[in-house]
Amino acid sequence: MTIEESIHTAQQPDALILPILLREKKKSLMLRAWIMGGLFFMALPGTLLGFSNLMAISAGHGLGTLPAAWLQGHGHAQMFGWIGSFVLGIGFYSQPGKERTALRRQFICFVLWTLGVALRWLASIYGWHWEIMLPVSAGMELVAILLFLQAAAQHKLPAADQPHAEKPKMELWMLSVLLGTAGLAAGVIFNFVECLILGLRGQDRAFPHGLDQRYLVLLGWGFLAPMVWGFSARWLHAFLSIPRPSARLLKLALALDIAGVLCGVAGFATVASILLTAGAVVIAFALQVTRAAQGSPKVQGIHSSFPFFVRITYAWLVIAASMSLWASVADQHGGIWGAARHALTVGFAATMVFSIGPRILPHFAGVRALFSKRLMLLSLLLLQIGCTLRVSSEPLAYEGILQFAWKTLPISGMLELSGVIVFAINIALTLLAGKSAFAQPAGNRPAMPAA
Angle between helices 85-94 and 100-126 (to 10 degrees): 180
Say whether pLDDT at 36 is over 80: yes
Instruction: Calculate the alpha carbon distances from 97 to 4, 154, 161, 216 in Å.
Output: 19, 9, 15, 33
pLDDT band for position 444 (50/70/90)? very low
- At 162 the pLDDT is 56
Q: Are 286 and 245 in contact (CB under 8 A)?
A: yes
What percent of the chain shows pLDDT beyond 70? Answer: 88
The residue extents of the domains of the chain are 18-154, 299-310+321-441
Maximum pairwise Cα distance, the chain: 71
Say whether pLDDT at 373 is over 90: yes
Higher pLDDT, 410 or 23: 410
pLDDT band for position 10 (50/70/90)? very low
- At 450 the pLDDT is 39
- At 17 the pLDDT is 62
- At 447 the pLDDT is 40
As to burial, measured by CB atoms within 10 angstroms (0-12 exposed, 13-18 middle, 19+ buried), residue 19 is exposed
Say whether pLDDT at 291 is over 70: yes
Other C-beta atoms lying within 10 Å of the C-beta of residue 438: 22
pTM, entire model? 0.89
Q: Please, what is the average pLDDT of the chain?
A: 88
Say whether pLDDT at 157 is over 70: no
For the ranges 143-147, 186-190, 441-445, which has the lowest average pLDDT?
441-445
Mean pLDDT of 269-280: 98
| pLDDT tens by residue, 294-325 | 889 998 889 999 999 999 999 999 999 999 99
| pLDDT tens by residue, 52-90 | 888 888 888 877 778 899 999 999 999 999 999 999 999
Q: Which of 447, 392, 442, 430 has the alpha carbon at shortest distance from 31?
A: 430
Most confident of 169-178, 306-315, 437-446: 306-315
- At 164 the pLDDT is 58
